[in-house]
Structure 1
Amino acid sequence: MAKAHIANHYLQATLRGAERQGHDGPTLLEQAGIPADWLNTPEQLITEQQLTQLVKSVWRATRDEFLGLSSEPCNNGTFALMCDYCLGSATLGAVLRKSAHFYRVICRNLDIALEEQGRQVFFRLHLKDAQNDTDHLLQEFLILMWERLSCWLVDQQIPFARTQFSYPAPAHEAEYRAMYPGELKFEQPVCGFLFHEKYLQLPIVRSEEELRQFLQAAPAYILHRPSQDESLRARIHALLARYNYPDMPGLDALGRELHMTPRNIGRKLQDEGTSLRKIKETLRREHATRLMTSESLSISEIAELVGFSETAAFSRAFKRWTGLSPARWRGSQVNG
């Protein structure tokens, strides 16, 4: 049986726009298989599946993918059309740029763009007029959509460095900790999320059939909350992901960031069966093997992207990681 772990707050928040249009909340709850008396019962948590079905009920009733929470509606099918339009892109960066262009044309109430900020990139995803989004549900949902879609398209959990919101921390802030990885910031000029530019080069690995299944189940994947890894290894992995590979900090700098002594970090990592060197090498290896599936990048370009100044040094490291040279590994993927 699915575990109920989502705050009851989301029942009323999901219904609010539909009720404002004259739709009956209890009827929509019934269509989603949720007892009407659960409404405004804080102790009654709900499952991801129940929230998924309620969102679908509201979509059908309002004929609006923005759930009646925007000053301008967004026709059902818009997100699917955008995904279909972007799927042929080679990289995540291309998808984000094309999706931003698509929604700028379709939805006038959405301020959306991919911006470079040094070695970081910021995906601005901001409701221009949020007066109908009193619970911030639509703004939350939009950011979840693009973060989760990005991870799904490349089949990897992208370490988002920061997710930010233009409003003060809401009463249900604890839910944000479960929904959004990385740092959270409130009362910012605009909403959006920040991550390192190197992830823009990740190749898109999903097929048309996989996209069809993803959309058919929507918004199930978007609302799914991945399990949280609270280990020190995971925390350091997320911190290092914010840097260029040659600039990844050592134990002293990490100690200042984590408020731990370098000695304690080393000991704790050893207890977890790893080390800082192994974590750094894992980051390089995982990113290199992802990039190697992209036909648009040469081996020398991949070597540079993962922090090797010489292709020969990268080739030796790659063979140590996989047992094959980069060229033979790439050939085995094509033939396999």
Structure 2
Amino acid sequence: MSNPNVTLPNHYILQIIAIVEDLGIPTDAWLSHLGVNPDKSEESLVTMPWSTFRQLLLDAGRFSNDKALGLMIGERLLINTHGILGYAALSSGSARQIVQLLERYLVLRTDLVTMETSERDGALWLHFFENRPLEDVRRPITEAIVLAVRNILDFTTMGTCDIREVTFPFEGDEKLAENVFRCPVAYNRERAGFSLPLESIDIPLKMANTVSFQEALKVCQQELDQLPAATTWSARIRRLMLQSRHGFPSLEMTARRFHVTPRTLHRRLIDEGTSYRAVLEGVRHQLSIRYLENGQMTIQEISFALGYSDIANFRKAFKRWESVPPSEYLNSRDP
């Protein structure tokens, strides 16, 4: 079950509205019709129905008559628009530390995508995955988030860690995007993301401040601990599983993490039309696809990483998800 709401910093919403206002288009009637009433002095998070946010983006794109709406939004999302997360990035010691920070705490700014990393061919790749079907606003949302993350790295590294390549899994204007990202951009690829050269991601940054970084990190963690209260239980558990680096927590350990009994947690998931097992299956399915497409792990290693004691059980589960065994999955996707 997808969360029917979306939570974003109020400042992000203001940037979308500002793009329309800059075109000389009155916005009062439009926003009133949508039921959007942003406080221009408010810096907190705002929650609105997904359908409202989607329509806000669709309307903004139509008003501007520009398919590059996502790039226009992303250009406005500079490091000082990201609150404590931006401050932590400013104090980071290296590009690698910034990437690790964003991988864990990007959810403080948006719950629409998850960022993950992988290393290959001398580069660190940042991958962005949808947390929900983004439908017909997939392009502006993804372009805006990827560009916003790039802006953070560009400012903090002062050009010492230039991105090498940007990719998106949909059609777009490569020439315009390359002017914005200042590097090669390719559309219609497998996934959204960009790469950083491994030889430069550990270069010490001039603005590094260990004390400030640690203090900012504490605040980020506090905000992360408080954030799940506004989301569904299934989303909270899914996020916990994806953040786990040492196997998936059991139902009992998950319940303890959220200070409820296993029986209460089970009942709340049932109320949402799901179960702990179903959430775990969904996470395993998602990660299995990513691991296979990444090409860095054997099927046996993937099976172990996903918590299967027997590789045969993983093969059966994967065939149930994708109708083909994992060994045939990538071949089945070839044109």
Q: TM-score, normalised by structure 2?
A: 0.42
Q: Which has the higher helix share?
A: 2
Q: Which has the larger radius of gyration?
A: 1
Indicate the structure whose relative CO is greater, using CA pairs within 8 Å and at least 6 residues apart: 2
Q: TM-score, normalised by structure 1?
A: 0.42
